[in-house]
Amino acid sequence: MKLHEGLFMVAIFLYLAYTQLVMGQPRQDCQTRCGDVAIEYPFGISSGCYFPGDDSFNITCMEDRPHVLGDTEVNNFYHSGELQVLLHRSSTCYDEQGNETFSENGDFTLVNLTLSAKNKFTVVGCNAFAVQRAFGMQAYSTGCISACDSLAEANEKCNGAGCCRSDVSFPLDSYTFEAILDIWDKTSVDQFNPCSYAFLVEDGKFNFSSSEDLQNLRNVTRFPAVLDWSIGNQTCDQVGNTSICGANSKCSNSTTRNGYICICDEGFDGNPYLSHGCQDIDECTTNNPIHKHNCSDPDTCRNKVGAFDCKCKSGYRLDTTTMSCKRKAIGWTMILIGTTIGFVVILLGGFFIKQRLRHQKNRELRQKFFQKNGGGMLIQRISGAGPSNIDVKIFTEEGMKEATNGYDESRILGQGGQGTVYKGIFPDNSIVAIKKARLGDNSQVEQFINEVLVLSQINHRNVVKLLGCCLETEVPLLVYEFITSGTLFDHLHGSMCDSSLTWEHRLRIAVEIAGTLAYLHSSASIPIIHRDVKTANILLDENLNAKVADFGASRLIPMDKEELATMVQGTLGYLDPEYYNTGLLNEKSDVYSFGVVLMELLSGRKALCFEQPQQSKHLVSYFAAATKENRLHEVIDGQVMNEYNQREIQEATKIALECTRLMGEERPRMKEVAAELEALRASKNKHQWSDEYPEPKEIEHLLGVEILSAQGETSSTGYESIKNVAILDIEAGR
């Protein structure tokens, strides 16, 4: 009997799966994102998730970026039958004698996708000509000529002087593109225009600049282009009721190729290719000008399925010409209704006043905690710092207690100078990290407010995301996204060190940290100095992606200043000696701390370890001495080095030494460090380890760090001595 029931359930499952496939709908378990890009049906990742029978809808997710047709990266998907992709350029370079020095082509092949007429074939260069050819069942070509003898002759209009463009329209579904690029006067090659370029680009996505583009095309190698797609090869009349268009949508013949597309009905929006993808638009609340109501008074707008109405209040009528409300003539009936409504309002008002007085005491208590926990300071600081990049949700005290099981000790993830971090579980089973400030420490309230202020300026995938805060409690709480795999300190020195990170992991983590700090210094709306960069403040997710955390000590640097005088804060072993001696904080302080983190990744050693001999207690000094004495192999972690990565480790060591130079002006900027590490990671050339280590121009480092005073108190511990703080950091991983 049980066997029959099991077979019956399997049959039901197979029938439902078959029905879903026939109706052209994706499986329920399909991956819907690739990195930051949403993948929407009829496109999909893996079989059963994209429109069946057409592999042009099959998306390959490589390095968190979607690709179509195997290797063409996708920028955006549009339900209207368009796809924005990135296509490579073609280029040819010559020296002053007319000899070709470099050449690359941007050839590509399309299968069941069509090049949109919205694209322009563009040529940049002087005395250059190019032809874009397409090969399929028929051959098509287009091209243009760009002529100029000097930079002064080029203009910004891309009309043939330094730049030209032509329309493209190739009515084929499957064909190969090839660009032929050359110049007719190789003796006229000049330094301002050593190369010529040809590429396809969406109209309006490239604005030619003679001063920037004639020399190196701004180092851009790929340009956005539009491809057209459609469902099948039949018209809407031919497919009839078998089209995959879902509810509240209609079938529309493609205007650029065979097949059809789906369009949501008027008043609906969403994915029309899903069975219930198109949902009603609330025209009364949307800010989209395409779907906005036309009522003259927004308060009169009333939404209904697929449309809206303008409803006038009692005593007024709607003028359909102006869509405005006009006053009606007032009669005895209206007076009676008004009197009755007024009497009811008085009764209800008395009731609500009584309820308000009843709850006033509770509100006053919550307001007291709000002010005590820096709520007024938070509002004042955020309003003065410019618009935030994130929405900070306000949580209730009851919600925090429930999420942490009454702040149970088993939920503690870590403890430090700024308080305790708990693991929180909300009723929807989502997991967060809840940071609770220390009780009775007013200085921690300002650090709490500072962390909210700093994180409100940051929107970066390698920064721990702030979800919200709670100010109603006796001590303030911050709620963050939960990072599953602990800290980088744990992986290198602590409870997870037996898992041993590979060199590839460590190099990628270094690249992510460097890129994040470069963003904070150079790309945030207001430059941010982290001021406490260390392995204990770098979290790792399940994929070992780095997440920079703990911004309690961070500072916003005004745009008109390069440094800021502050009380010295930081963690011993990572603290910039120049900042310690002068009290002047700038971005080079973070560069020094990052250099120490990079040394930890290379060596597997702690930044400061009192158990080691005197000459190797401080990692920076140890690295400098080992490099100077040609014995760097003693410092590098044996689990990291192999015969294939010795050159990479040597280059990374050089970068770490440059970051930890004594004088800040001799250190590179963070964006330069990020660029060097990214280039090192991308390099495919493998060289053997050189017996000769490059010696820095000048190696001066901070020695005798044990005698630092309490002025350098760390931002992540509560000890009054920076020496004690450093010991706690080494032993506890914070």
Active site residues: 532
**Rounded to an integer, what distance in angstroms lies between the CA atom of residue 92 and that of residue 247?**
52
- The amino acid occupying position 394 is I
Contact 299, 308 (CB under 8 A): no
**Rounded to an integer, what distance in angstroms lies between the CA atom of residue 662 and that of residue 672?**
18
Closest by CA position to 581, among listed 597, 596, 570, 595: 570
724 exposure class (CB count in 10 Å sphere: 0-12, 13-18, 19+): middle
- Residue 487: what are its φ and ψ, rounded to 5°? -100, 165
Side-chain half-sphere exposure of 247, counting CA atoms within 13 A: 6
Contact 161, 124 (CB under 8 A): no
Contact 653, 500 (CB under 8 A): no
**Rounded to an integer, what distance in angstroms lies between the CA atom of residue 370 and that of residue 314?**
42
**Rounded to an integer, what distance in angstroms lies between the CA atom of residue 65 and that of residue 62?**
5
Report CA dihedral (183, 185, 187, 191) to the nearest 10 degrees. -50
Contact 34, 45 (CB under 8 A): yes
Order across the sheet with 90-94: list the strands.
100-104, 90-94, 195-202, 119-124, 163-167
Q: Rg (Cα) of the chain, in Å, rounded? A: 32
- Residue 645: what are its φ and ψ, rounded to 5°? -120, 15
- Residue 341: what are its φ and ψ, rounded to 5°? -65, -40
Closest by CA position to 491, among listed 441, 448, 547: 547
- Placement of tokens 């496109």 in the chain: 43
Burial 203-230 (b: 16+ CB within 10 A, else e): beebebbbeebbbebeeeebbbbbbbbb
**Rounded to an integer, what distance in angstroms lies between the CA atom of residue 601 and that of residue 502?**
10
- Residue 172: what are its φ and ψ, rounded to 5°? -130, 150
Report CA dihedral (522, 528, 533, 535) to the nearest 10 degrees. -80
- Give the C-alpha distances (Å, rounded to integers) separating 211 from 92, 124, 571: 19, 12, 47
Contact 574, 517 (CB under 8 A): no
Sign of CA dihedral 676, 678, 682, 686: positive
Outline where 407-468 has alpha helix (H): 442-455
Report CA dihedral (418, 419, 425, 426) to the nearest 10 degrees. -70
- Give the C-alpha distances (Å, rounded to integers) separating 306 from 267, 268, 283, 294, 310: 4, 6, 9, 15, 14
